[in-house]
Each structure stands twice: as C-alpha cells, then as structure tokens.
Amino acid sequence: MNFSVIQPGIKPAIINDSSALTDDWFSRPYDELLAEATRVGALVGSAEHITRWSPDTCKCKLDQISHGVTIRVIDNKKQIREIFVVDPTKNITEGESINLCPSHAHLLFPKDHFDVVLEENQRKNRFQAAIGYDLPYKWSFDVNRILVVDVNGLTPLIANAIRSLVNDPQFKNKVIING
Ligand SMILES: [Zn+2]
C-alpha cells in the first residue's frame, strides 16, 4: 500500500481555466503544492478519501480514511480534473470494518482491527522482501496468526537462509518455518 500516490481524478470537464495547476506541480512537496494551489485558486477544499482494503493475508475488508485536499489540475489538452492529494502530516485513520474474517472476528473496534490486519500483512510482505522477491514463497498463518513459511522443495542452501531469517528481531516468535 502506498498512500502518497495521487488518487485518480474525479469530475472530468473540458474548460479553459487558469485557476488550475499543471501536472508538474504534483511531484513537489505537499506544502509547496498547497501554497501554489491556494495562490492560483486551484484549491477546491479539504477532503477525505476512503480506500477499501482487502489484504491478501485474510478475508477481512476494511475502509481506511486518508485526509487531504482536492486540487484542480489542468493537463496539456486543457482537460480539467479534480484530484485528491493525501496530506502526509495526517495519519491514515481506521474507517469501518466492512467484513471481519473468522480469525479477526473478535476484534470489535475498527482501530484494533486495522492495526492487527495491517501488521500481519506487512509482516508477510517484509518477510518476502527479506528472502527476495524472485524466490518462491509459500506462506500461511496458523491459528495464532504466526506466519508459517514452507521451505519444502527448496534447495538446502536457500531453505537454511530462510530459516536464519526467523531469528531477525522483527520476525522472532512471529514467523515459523515448515520443512
Ligand atoms: Zn482478517
């Protein structure tokens, strides 16, 4: 997940409007972008953007709320769009728990639900990053939500390298190896 990405536009229209920013402004730091948008009148207002998230680590569904602003942008074909830009100084807040999977059904508060599901998803992704993205990586979670990594079928050299990762403090007691 990368929440600094500018979300796709809404309200397409073709008008000639000087109160809009050109695309190149959107690679600038947030405060510069905001100052320029305010100066030229391209700032539409503050906004919230809801992202529905379905992690690949369980069957939960969550809505997460990002805070930011809506800014008018004009492209080189004079098309005007409004785009949402995430405010990096504000945290993404938990929204609603849309669906709780059996493993997380006990998490009654959206904040807890969000934190737990995010931690599991990031742990799995970090482990993948640690072993290298080109390696086959068979994983699952056990009933205690320990990440179980299956090294069956891998060469002993690779399997041992993966085993040694479990001692990394970020994975200790949170990842076990099967095989
Ligand atoms: Zn879940």
C-alpha to C-alpha distance for 157 and 6, rounded to whole angstroms: 42
Buried b (16+ CB within 10 A) or exposed e, 8-32: ebeeeeeeeeeebbeeebeeeebee
User: How far away, in angstroms, is 144 Cα from ligand 1 center?
Assistant: 12
Return the number of other C-beta atoms located less than 10 Å from residue 126's C-beta: 16
Mean pLDDT value across the chain: 87
User: How far away, in angstroms, is 100 Cα from ligand 1 center?
Assistant: 6
Q: What is the mean pLDDT of residues 115-141?
A: 90
User: How far away, in angstroms, is 103 Cα from ligand 1 center?
Assistant: 6
Q: What is the mean pLDDT of residues 139-146?
A: 96
Decide: pTM greater than 0.75: no
pLDDT of residue 2 exceeding 50 = no
Domain residue spans of the chain: 10-98, 102-178
Q: Assess contact for 171 and 165: CB atoms under 8 A.
A: yes
C-alpha to C-alpha distance for 63 and 105, rounded to whole angstroms: 16
Q: What is the pLDDT of residue 6?
A: 45
User: How far away, in angstroms, is 169 Cα from ligand 1 center?
Assistant: 24
**What are 19-57's pLDDT values in tens digits?**
999 989 999 999 999 999 999 999 999 998 888 989 999
User: How far away, in angstroms, is 19 Cα from ligand 1 center?
Assistant: 44
C-alpha to C-alpha distance for 116 and 104, rounded to whole angstroms: 8
pLDDT of residue 88 exceeding 80 = yes
User: How far away, in angstroms, is 170 Cα from ligand 1 center?
Assistant: 21
pLDDT of residue 10 exceeding 60 = no
